[in-house]
Amino acid sequence: MPRGLMAFFVVCLCAGAAAAADLSSATLVEKGAITYGVAATFAPFEFQKDNKLTGFDIDMIDALGKKLAVEPKAMNMDFKGLIPALQGGRLDIINSAMYINPQRSEQVDFIPYLKIGNEVLVQAGNPSKITGRDNSLCGKTVAVTLGAIEETFAREDDKRCKDAGLAGVTVQTLPTAQDSALSVRQGRADAFFDSTPGAVEMMDNLPGVYAVAGPEFEQSTRIGIATRKGDKATHDAVEAALKEIVADGTYKAIIAKWKLPPTVSLFD
């Protein structure tokens, strides 16, 4: 191939790759920015430290923003308000460790980026004698974040217990994961559900306060960035940027920084 033609081919190939992670054809809340919704109460994914947003998802959106040549701008809100805000045009994406399930997939489109498991957490010493996500939860109170996947899990357990002729699960819905943890710590609930990374973070920060009861469950749960249903321009650009940070090692480095197990990666 002539040198000039080869140079033209390389330039075109590079330009095509750059264009893939390009939001110029998307309708954004603010030009030059990607406005994302986050419920910053779910360590280690998103939380506040010294009045600043931090966590895995915050580092990831910063890396994606560089690939997309836009400034990430956060709107921190209650988790239950994230999808309505996206549907109402106040957000470009949701970047908040949102668990992917069929109900949410009917409302938004997802770009999966991690897979994680979940744990049942109890007070240290396990005074309620809970042995996991099993019949030991029947007749107990489980604290969960309102509108989060943990609420779905707890309501499934309530139905399972009742269908078996046992006492149901009292599902205590609270605004944040921290509220659920505090409810267990104060003895107002017997257990709460958290992601495996969240459980590790909780027990590292508060040694001797909580314990894991039983085995990890829902180990293949995927979490994703949400885009408006049918917003192909935003979806494709963010997905392309994600592929770029996987290819250049940034994604793996963020996983390592936040001490997540390598098994969370969706990209082997």
Residue-wise pLDDT for 53-93, tens only, equals: 999 999 999 999 999 999 999 999 999 999 999 999 999 99
What is the reported pLDDT for 14? 39
**What is the chain's mean pLDDT, rounded?**
90
Rounded Cα distance, 179 and 140, in Å: 18
Q: How many residues does the chain have?
A: 268
- Angle separating helix axes 232-247 and 56-68, nearest 10 degrees: 100
What is the residue extent of each domain of the chain? 25-115+221-264, 117-219
Any long-range contacts for 229-234 (C-beta under 8 Å, 24+ apart)?
229/87, 229/107, 229/108, 229/109, 230/109, 231/26, 231/27, 231/109, 233/23, 233/25, 233/26, 233/27, 234/23, 234/26, 234/28, 234/92, 234/93
**3-class SS of residue 48:** strand
Segment 144-173 mean pLDDT: 95
Confidence band of 108 (pLDDT split at 50, 70, 90): very high
What is the reported pLDDT for 89? 97
Rounded Cα distance, 204 and 18, in Å: 41
Segment 139-146 mean pLDDT: 95
Identify which of 211, 149, 144, 204 has the alpha carbon closest to the alpha carbon of residue 178.
Answer: 144
Asked whether residue 11 carries a pLDDT value surpassing 60, the answer given is no
Assigned token pair, 17: 């790759």
State which of 97-106, 160-169, 208-217 shows the largest mean pLDDT.
Answer: 160-169
What is the reported pLDDT for 149? 84
Q: What's the predicted TM-score (pTM) here?
A: 0.73
Q: What Rg, from alpha-carbon coordinates, does the chain have?
A: 21
CA quadruple 187, 118, 55, 211: dihedral sign: positive
Asked whether residue 161 carries a pLDDT value surpassing 50, the answer given is yes
Top CATH class of 117-219 equals: alpha beta
What is the reported pLDDT for 176? 87
CA quadruple 172, 178, 219, 190: dihedral sign: negative
Check for a shared fold between 25-115+221-264 and 117-219: yes
Q: What percentage of residues in the chain have a pLDDT greater than 90?
A: 75
Terminus-to-terminus CA distance in the chain, angstroms? 35
Identify which of 240, 216, 177, 202 has the alpha carbon closest to the alpha carbon of residue 19.
Answer: 240
What is the reported pLDDT for 61? 98
**Beta strand 71-76 pairing with 33-38:** parallel
What is the reported pLDDT for 263? 83
Amino acid found at 184: V
Confidence band of 164 (pLDDT split at 50, 70, 90): very high
Q: Tell me the CATH number for domain 25-115+221-264.
A: 3.40.190.10
